[in-house]
A = this chain, B = another copy of it.
Amino acid sequence: MPSQFNFRVESADPGGARAGVLSTPHGSVPTPLFMPVATLATVKGVDIGRVAETGAGMVLANTYHLHLRPGEAIVEQGGGVGKFMGWAGPTLTDSGGFQVFSLAKQVRVTEEGAFFRSHIDGSPVDLTPEAAVRIQEKLGADVAMQLDEVVALPADRERVEAAMRRSLRWAERCLAARSRPEQAMFGIVQGGLEADLRQESAEALRRLPFEGYAVGGLSVGEGTEAMVAALAATVPHLPADKPRYLMGVGQPQDIIAAVAAGIDMFDCVLPTRCGRNSLVYTFAGQVRLRNASHAADQGPLEEGCPCLACRHSRSYIRHLFLAGEMLGPILASIHNLTFYQRLIARLRAAIVAGRFDALRQELLARFSAPAA
């Protein structure tokens, strides 16, 4: 294990939720944590100082995207993905597995790796487990992810099983390809919605020397209930002393449910993607800013929110969206990122204070209401 990488559980709720601290070469961050997504080494529309102001402690970037543009060599020359984008804290890069599955063209996956064409210019790209490690080492994040094979759900059990087993073989190849001990690596549990496959994947991965474990393949709209079932089949089989990361999830209610299931780390594009589309999150539920009801509303997006957007009125931010001004998406993204950090901080504080379940129930009732 990299000497500067460490994870410590500080409080655990009887139901499974836990509060901890993740330590990396770029500092320590409390868990549960939510990572804003800086796909191309930028959290879309938000300068990195403003990202820090939202309360974020750790940022995620995408291997697939950065490999295509600007290329890992440029990022490496810039001091690695953190320094390149001006982020002093911890960073994580995914391996590209999910993007190959969701974005790339003419994808052919063999035992050797994934072979596909760039969604930008159609140029051929080979992404083997070894290449995913080599690229991520150049990107230089504190945490790298193994390459995995992701399948679209619903899928035949055979297809899910084959991809899970291949992901296990790729996990071993990723570990064998490592050359930078200062960079942690997480394995990724696959197995779709098949409980026994999830368990088998988790059991096999925990025997490998990863510094943490991710749960993959659950960010593609299968619903909170199916996600919770998959987590219940997975988390008990992961080591208690390693961080658990649920990739690409999700809506606030999903994050609450996953924290309850013992997940420590999250990333999701929703705060910025929804923000760009004028949909904002509040503790009273979602708000559609384009609605005429906000035209002269002098109140902030959310009372008591300390974010930059909430120094303005809903009336102003609605005007920005209707006028097509960049500042609308910028402010709504900042608000949503702040909301996610406040949500995760509230969950953590409740775990520490022994009142997690009460907060969970209170919040889930609010987030099930329709957007205002």
Interface residues of chain A, those whose CB is within 8 Å of chain B, are: 40-42, 44-47, 49-50, 65, 69-70, 74, 77-78, 84-86, 295-296, 298, 308, 311-313, 315-316, 318-320, 322-323, 325-327, 329-331
Contacts and interface: CB of A to CB of B under 8 A. Distances in A.
A329 B45 CA distance: 9
A70 B326 contact: no
A259 to B, nearest CB: 30
A319 B47 contact: no
B330 A326 contact: yes
Nearest to A327: B42
A298 B78 contact: yes
Given A69-B322, A70-B295, A70-B319, A78 B313 contact: yes
Contact of A296 (B40, B45, B74, B316): B74
A44 B325 contact: yes
A312 B41 CA distance: 12
8 shortest interchain CB distances as A-B pairs: A70-B319, A45-B326, A42-B327, A40-B323, A69-B323, A42-B325, A77-B296, A86-B312
B78 A315 contact: yes
Nearest to A53: B49
B316 A41 contact: yes
B77 A316 contact: no
B45 A330 contact: yes
A69 B316 CA distance: 11
A31 B360 CA distance: 56
A319 B298 CA distance: 39
17 contacts: A40-B320, A40-B325, A41-B316, A42-B327, A44-B326, A45-B330, A65-B323, A70-B295, A74-B296, A74-B315, A74-B319, A77-B298, A78-B298, A84-B313, A84-B316, A85-B316, A330-B330
B326 A74 contact: no
Contacts of A86: 311-312, 316
Contacts of A323: 40, 65, 69-70
Nearest to A42: B327
A330 B329 CA distance: 12
Nearest to A46: B327
Nearest to A79: B298
A331 B45 CA distance: 10
A49 B316 contact: no
A217 B316 CA distance: 31
A86 B309 CA distance: 10
Nearest to A325: B42
Nearest to A120: B323
A316 B47 contact: no
